[in-house]
């Protein structure tokens, strides 16, 4: 899709400020190094923006969203003033922690279809050094942008700009792009007035069910142990944005374990679908972890506390023998028809 228009705006941190700073905006000419870099972001936005998001309905429940209205107006006009309205919205939710930023709006067209990419780059501080034949001049700069051309937030919207379109999009946050990190809430929820399309509960439930099925289907003890160990540590990512794929990578699962999880998920696209991890929902589906020994013993404990409750010692490595020890008061005893 051909990139038609690029506008740039300097966005100040002005959340809860009674008087909002004026915002200057300008067009970016379709030439030079800056244009080449931005065109690269525009062209690869489908690949970069992998998290599905959708606009929220308004406070009365109607299918209307203020941010979406501003984006549609800009897509249809390509005017800097309409772009400034979007920048003002971002400025009103930007905290001092996020600081100054440059917002780029990029619009392309292909027939009756349009594509809008929003990208925000943070400001930094730096020192400018200018060397002449006999001297060196240094100057402290407070507004240095694009120190890293790979650290930015983006959102992508595509389709026919009609009244019923552009309700869904995709986003990325390359400033906190490590697996297990959450999106900046002000970018998705406050600025775009959107939510992740996969809810926390649905994504956490899907992950729990996939891990449970994978454990049941695996015959390799080591692969099972990898998944069990990951479940023990999983509460550490509570509230973070992740995916089934990112979970497997974050906890270093082997190819056998990952293949078992992938088979349990069934659809490859669900492996990479992001969601905010909810430890409470996850625990509803995986509450306990059990280990069955060759001598007939079965050890069971809270999945997240198993390694704290039972101390494991590796004895005869060639025979894969282990010893588990624990200590506590007897609070209950039960007889069962079968195994737990």
Task: Please give the radius of gyration of the chain, using alpha carbons only, rounded to the nearest integer.
Answer: 26
More confident residue, 116 or 317: 116
Write down the mean pLDDT value for the chain: 85
Phi, psi of 295 (to 5 degrees): -85, 5
Q: What is the DSSP letter of 66?
A: H
Q: Is 236 helix (H, G, I), strand (E, B) or coil?
A: helix
57-113: per-residue pLDDT in tens?
Answer: 888 888 899 999 999 999 999 999 999 999 999 999 998 888 888 899 999 998 889
- Nearby residues of 84 by Cβ (< 8 Å), 6 or more positions away: 9, 23, 25
155-198: per-residue pLDDT in tens?
Answer: 999 998 777 788 889 998 877 644 333 456 789 889 999 988 78
d(CA 57, CA 72): 16
Give bridge partners of residue 299 from the DSSP assignment: 291
Q: With beta carbons less than 8 A apart as the criterion, state whether 264 and 214 touch.
A: yes
- Quick one: tokens of 317? 């490595």
Q: Is 217 helix (H, G, I), strand (E, B) or coil?
A: helix
Q: How many CB atoms lie within 10 A of CB 127?
A: 9
Numbers of helices and strands, H then E, in the chain: 12, 15
120-161: per-residue pLDDT in tens?
Answer: 988 765 666 777 767 676 665 656 665 556 678 999 999 987
- Nearby residues of 238 by Cβ (< 8 Å), 6 or more positions away: 277, 278, 279
Q: How many CA atoms lie within 13 A of 200 on its CB side?
A: 15
């Amino acid at each position: 899709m051909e990139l038609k228009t690029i506008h740039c705006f300097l966005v100040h941190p002005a959340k809860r400020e009674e008087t909002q700073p004026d915002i200057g905006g300008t067009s970016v000419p379709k030439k030079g190094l800056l244009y080449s870099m931005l065109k690269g972001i525009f062209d690869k936005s489908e690949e970069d923006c992998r998290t599905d998001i959708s606009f929220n309905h308004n406070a009365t429940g109607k299918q209307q969203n203020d941010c979406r209205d501003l984006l549609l107006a800009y897509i249809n006009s390509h005017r800097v003033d309409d772009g400034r309205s979007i920048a003002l919205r971002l400025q009103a939710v930007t905290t001092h922690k996020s600081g100054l930023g440059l917002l780029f709006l990029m619009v392309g067209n292909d027939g009756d279809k349009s594509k809008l990419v929003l990208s925000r780059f943070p400001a930094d501080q730096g020192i400018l050094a200018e060397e002449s034949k006999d001297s060196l001049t240094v100057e402290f700069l407070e507004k240095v942008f694009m120190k890293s051309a790979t650290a930015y937030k983006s959102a992508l919207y595509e389709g026919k700009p009609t009244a019923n379109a552009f309700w869904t999009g995709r986003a990325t946050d390359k400033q906190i792009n490590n697996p297990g990190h959450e999106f900046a809430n002000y970018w998705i929820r406050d600025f775009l007035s959107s939510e992740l399309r996969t809810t926390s509960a649905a994504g956490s439930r899907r992950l729990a069910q996939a891990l449970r099925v994978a454990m049941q289907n695996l015959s390799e003890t080591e692969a099972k142990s990898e998944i069990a160990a990951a479940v023990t540590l999983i509460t550490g990512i509570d509230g973070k944005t992740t995916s089934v794929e990112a979970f497997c990578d974050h906890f270093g699962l082997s190819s056998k374990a990952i293949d078992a999880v992938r088979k349990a998920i069934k659809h490859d696209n669900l492996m990479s679908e992001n969601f905010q991890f909810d430890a409470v929902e996850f625990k509803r589906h995986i509450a306990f972890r059990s280990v069955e020994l060759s001598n007939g013993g079965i050890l069971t404990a809270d999945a997240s506390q198993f390694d704290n409750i039972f101390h494991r010692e590796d004895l005869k490595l060639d025979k894969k023998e282990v010893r588990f020890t624990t200590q506590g008061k007897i609070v209950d005893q039960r007889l069962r028809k079968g195994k737990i």
